[in-house]
A = this chain, B = another copy of it.
Amino acid sequence: MEKSALQIARAAYRPKLPAALVGGLALKEGAATESVADQAAIKELFPNTYGMPFVTFESANTPLQATANVGVILSGGQAPGGHNVIAGLFDGLKKLNPDNKLYGFLGGPSGLVDHKYIELTADIIDEYRNTGGFDIIGSGRTKLEEKAQFDSGIEICKQLGINAIVIIGGDDSNTNACVLAEYYLQKNCGIQVIGCPKTIDGDLKNAMIETSFGFDTACKVYAEMIGNIERDANSAKKYWHFIKLMGRSASHVTLECALQTHPNITLIGEEVEAKNQTLDEVVTYIAEAVAARAAKGLNFGTVLVPEGLIEFIPAIKRLIAELNDMLAANQAEFDTIAADDKIAYVVKHLTAENAALFESLPATVSRQLALERDPHGNVQVSLIETEQLLAEMVGKKLDAWKKEGKYVGKFATQHHFFGYEGRCAAPSNFDADYCYSLGFNAAMLIASGKTGYMSSVRNTTKPADQWLAGGIPITAMMNMEKRNGKMKPVIQKALVVLDGGPFKYFAANRAKWAAETDFVYPGPIQYFGPSEVCDQTTKTLALEHE
């Protein structure tokens, strides 16, 4: 199979490790932990894994040695660096004992349940070092929630002599990892479970998990593209580019890209929700910035939109909730209505406020909301092309202002959506090192007998040898939340904090970025150049640690 020159050169990269993981090491236990909220409820659900201490590895004279066969699972959406977690885990296990074996469960958590696996040998691992993608064993979205699944896992582990499972995933997958760890402790079956924090969305982080892997690389890929588009906008001087960025439940990616590229306008879902803004207010905010630039002869610019924006707007949330309920209640009748009459039917059956909002939406969007529903009968919000919706509504508002004499200018738009472009990029130096360290560290947690822990590598704004390695009890990150009508223990999702460093920096500068053309062009991720070019962390991480 042909490889690119960069693939070949990059295969030789040796990821850096925290100093504590390089030679001999010893585990140091810290204080006992509590969950971030709902302590009593979490404790009751996790009697064996609740309250465990933070643990840290320290350099020691003798190397840790241990016998362990391990199974690894990639869970959920791809993120750059997943292969390096597995490579680090492999190298860590082999360092503990060259006879240790690593198995990969295929196609995500279902591989554990359905007993689909391969042994990951040195030859396979070497093919995937420092590469993007999850293709080494594939990923999947099966949720590990049922006892039957857990028991099926025990079977295959017994069969292969596996005594630990590493689950590489986001908040939900790590929650499930902890449920699995608790169950296996209750069953006393001798299978440990360790989680690793993955997601390009950046919403799995807390006091002890500084960042989820993949966020660094994915944001840098998107920022490269955004910078290129900004340069084009500033050269052609004739388009407003509306750019939607992946990330439905949090706007970290959008905020990070804004910090890297200084677009004219950036929408942050968490702020829109906190300020209880309407769609019309969001549109007006953009239109005002466009008009102000037009008054200076600048009929071009860039707008960043988080994928989840529409779901952060409280009024839209209410509309969608009523739509779902109303359509469910009237399903039989609605199905008999002719396609051309369905919109009118919807308008008639909504409350006045929601009907008015529904009618104010562009026809393509209202049609989509009324007619296209997922297998559960729900409105498909994710299909809405928010970047086009906003461009169209801003255009209409500017047309109206033009007639009123409030705006003079040209408004031509282009739109883009970046997501798949960044999820499987080859990891940046940061993600290559961070992921390798997370995996290596997971092996050391296993050797130390830990279960229900998340692999933790901290102090990541410093050079890698100063990073701190250890483990965090997953229960410490949990609280109780309503999911599908039931209270469930879940890892608290980290949304953009409006009084946090990254947002505050953005908020302090955005008026200038809107009015002026203050674009920054990050360019492509570099692997071989000067350290200040190749080894920068995200702006988010830097500002959070200032």
Interface residues of chain A, those whose CB is within 8 Å of chain B, are 1-7, 9-10, 77-78, 107, 131-135, 138-139, 221, 224-225, 227-229, 231-232, 234-237, 241, 260, 262, 414, 416, 420-426, 518, 520-530, 532-533, 536
Q: What are 12 A-to-B residue pairs whose CB atoms are below 8 Å?
A: A1-B518, A5-B533, A6-B529, A6-B533, A131-B231, A139-B235, A221-B524, A224-B524, A228-B421, A228-B424, A241-B420, A425-B523
Contact (A134, B235) CB under 8 Å given A4-B522, A533-B5? yes
Nearest B-chain residue to A262, judged by Cβ: B2
Partner of A536 from the list B5, B224, B234 (CB cut-off 8 Å) is B5
Main secondary structure of the interface of A (DSSP, over half): loop
A3 vs B4: C-alpha distance when bound (angstroms): 30
Number of copies: 2
Nearest B-chain residue to A423, judged by Cβ: B232
A522 vs B533: C-alpha distance when bound (angstroms): 20
A78 vs B231: C-alpha distance when bound (angstroms): 10
A237 vs B107: C-alpha distance when bound (angstroms): 9
A229 vs B229: C-alpha distance when bound (angstroms): 19
Partner of A9 from the list B7, B232, B529 (CB cut-off 8 Å) is B529
Could you tell me if A420 and B228 are in contact, using CB atoms closer than 8 angstroms? yes
Partner of A3 from the list B416, B421, B520 (CB cut-off 8 Å) is B520
Task: Given contacts A5-B530, A78-B236, A231-B424, list 9 more A-B pairs with CB under 8 A.
Answer: A4-B522, A9-B533, A131-B231, A133-B234, A135-B234, A229-B421, A414-B420, A416-B421, A528-B528
Could you tell me if B423 and A138 are in contact, using CB atoms closer than 8 angstroms? no
Could you tell me if A528 and B529 are in contact, using CB atoms closer than 8 angstroms? yes
Q: Which of A139, A228, A522 has the most CB of B within 10 A?
A: A228
* Residues in B whose Cβ lies below 8 Å from that of A1: 518
* Residues in B whose Cβ lies below 8 Å from that of A133: 231-232, 234-235
Could you tell me if B529 and A78 are in contact, using CB atoms closer than 8 angstroms? no
Sorted from nearest, which 7 A-B pairs have the closest CB atoms? A528-B529, A524-B524, A231-B424, A133-B231, A6-B523, A134-B235, A232-B424
Nearest B-chain residue to A509, judged by Cβ: B2
Nearest B-chain residue to A364, judged by Cβ: B364
A421 vs B423: C-alpha distance when bound (angstroms): 17
Q: How distant is A86 from chain B, measured CB to nearest CB, in Å?
A: 13
Nearest B-chain residue to A532, judged by Cβ: B5
A511 vs B236: C-alpha distance when bound (angstroms): 40
Q: How distant is A108 from chain B, measured CB to nearest CB, in Å?
A: 10
* Residues in B whose Cβ lies below 8 Å from that of A414: 420
A426 vs B1: C-alpha distance when bound (angstroms): 30
Partner of A6 from the list B221, B237, B425, B522 (CB cut-off 8 Å) is B522
Q: How distant is A395 from chain B, measured CB to nearest CB, in Å?
A: 15
Contact (A521, B7) CB under 8 Å given A421-B225, A526-B527, A529-B528? yes
Contact (A235, B78) CB under 8 Å given A5-B536, A421-B229, A532-B5? yes
Partner of A420 from the list B138, B232, B525 (CB cut-off 8 Å) is B232
Could you tell me if B523 and A426 are in contact, using CB atoms closer than 8 angstroms? yes
Could you tell me if B521 and A132 are in contact, using CB atoms closer than 8 angstroms? yes
* Residues in B whose Cβ lies below 8 Å from that of A528: 526, 528-530, 533
A523 vs B133: C-alpha distance when bound (angstroms): 12
Q: How distant is A503 from chain B, measured CB to nearest CB, in Å?
A: 18
Q: How distant is A507 from chain B, measured CB to nearest CB, in Å?
A: 17
Nearest B-chain residue to A7, judged by Cβ: B521
Q: How distant is A168 from chain B, measured CB to nearest CB, in Å?
A: 13
A132 vs B78: C-alpha distance when bound (angstroms): 31
* Residues in B whose Cβ lies below 8 Å from that of A225: 225, 421
* Residues in B whose Cβ lies below 8 Å from that of A525: 524
A532 vs B241: C-alpha distance when bound (angstroms): 35
